[in-house]
Amino acid sequence: MEWKSFVIRDENGTELELIQHEEMIMPAKYLQMEPEKKLKLIREYKYKKDDILLCSYPKTGTHWISNLVYFLTTPGHVESMTTVPPMLMDMIPLDKWDAVEKSHVINSHLRVNRVPREHLEQDGKVIIITRDPRDTMVSLKYHFQKHDLVNRANFSWNFFFDQWLEGSVPFGSFFDYYNTWETAMKENKNLNALIVHFESLKTDGLKELRRIQKFLQVNNTDERLQQILERCSITKMKSDIDTGKLGAALVDKDGKSFIYRKGDIGEWKTHFTVAQSERFDQVFEEKFKNSIFKK
């Protein structure tokens, strides 16, 4: 597997080395994770009955929705259950791969051509998570500032805005990610996929959980659904980590977890200039005009 290397650098000298193979763009440190072996493991992952594959672009609500699905499909008293670390196949170390094998809820930020082939062929359930790309951009900016994989790159906002729109960031273009999924869904009418919008869960969680559980063919009472929503709030998920109930996989230089931040809707409004908003709208219409993922 051949990777091309390139560097992005803002006006203040903050830089990050990236690598690219075909459509994949990753931090250079990804090479330490033996990507050829990992991508082969992911693509050839054996489907297990009742596996659920969650697919998403980074910072669209993956951890939150992964926990909601886990609680929906796991019986027990909600308040006594602990939230779980999502099994992100792309990033989990190879020596911990057995944890992926044991999980029935698996996650990936990879495009459709790289996710488990057998899962798609066996009519496995796929939930595609999406979010307002503007809030996604802002959230990823802050995520990078604390993530060692990208050397905690604290890029200037203007620079990051441009790079994100161009898709020159780890995992590439938001728009291309979802457009490839839309193409796959149109070409394969039997693809067993459900689209879940972050904003819909935030504004009408009970209704969305009913829709998700119908797709998953599980049955929880409205009372339990409401308990799940409350148990999987950002505050309580953060608390599980802060109190040591759940180990933190992602920590900053001070050892503090940064998996969850705000999870708000509309934070982009405090970051975008008028000119940036106009430019974003132009790119959005060009890339996403008739998208089924458009909210």
- Residue 236 neighbours by CB under 8 Å, 6+ apart: 83, 230
Using one digit for the tens of pLDDT, what is the confidence trace for 61-100?
A: 999 999 999 999 999 999 888 888 888 999 998 999 999 9
Q: Which long-range contacts (CB under 8 A, 24 or more apart) does 7-10 make?
A: 8/163, 8/168, 8/169, 10/155, 10/156, 10/159, 10/160
User: Quick check: is 293 in a domain?
Assistant: no
User: Quick check: is 19 in a domain?
Assistant: yes
Contact 51, 124 (CB under 8 A): yes
Domain interval for residue 281: 4-288
**Can you give the pLDDT at residue 258?**
45
Average pLDDT over the chain, rounded to an integer: 91
Is residue 269 scored above 50 in pLDDT?
A: yes
Q: How far is C-alpha 273 from the chain's CA centre?
A: 26
User: Quick check: is 295 in a domain?
Assistant: no
User: Quick check: is 294 in a domain?
Assistant: no
User: Domain of 176: which CATH number?
Assistant: 3.40.50.300
Q: By three-state DSSP, how is residue 188 classified?
A: coil
Q: Residue 121: which pLDDT band, with cuts at 50, 70 and 90?
A: very high
Using one digit for the tens of pLDDT, what is the confidence trace for 6-58?
A: 999 999 999 999 999 999 999 999 999 999 999 999 999 999 999 999 999 99
Cα–Cα distance between 104 and 90 in angstroms, integer?
16
Is residue 177 scored above 90 in pLDDT?
A: yes
Residue 198 backbone dihedrals phi, psi, to 5 degrees = -50, -45
Instruction: Report H helices in 122-221.
Output: 133-146, 157-166, 174-187, 198-203, 205-216
Q: Residue 262: which pLDDT band, with cuts at 50, 70 and 90?
A: low
Using one digit for the tens of pLDDT, what is the confidence trace for 221-250?
A: 999 999 999 999 888 888 777 776 665 565
Cα–Cα distance between 276 and 195 in angstroms, integer?
28
Give the chain's domain count. 1
Residue 88 backbone dihedrals phi, psi, to 5 degrees = -80, 100
DSSP track, 75-104: -S-GGG------EETTTS-GGGHHHHHH-S
pTM, two decimals, is 0.92
Contact 73, 84 (CB under 8 A): no
DSSP track, 41-74: HHHTPPP-TT-EEEEE-TTSSHHHHHHHHHHHHS
Question: ∠ CA 240-224-61 to the nearest 5 degrees?
Answer: 50
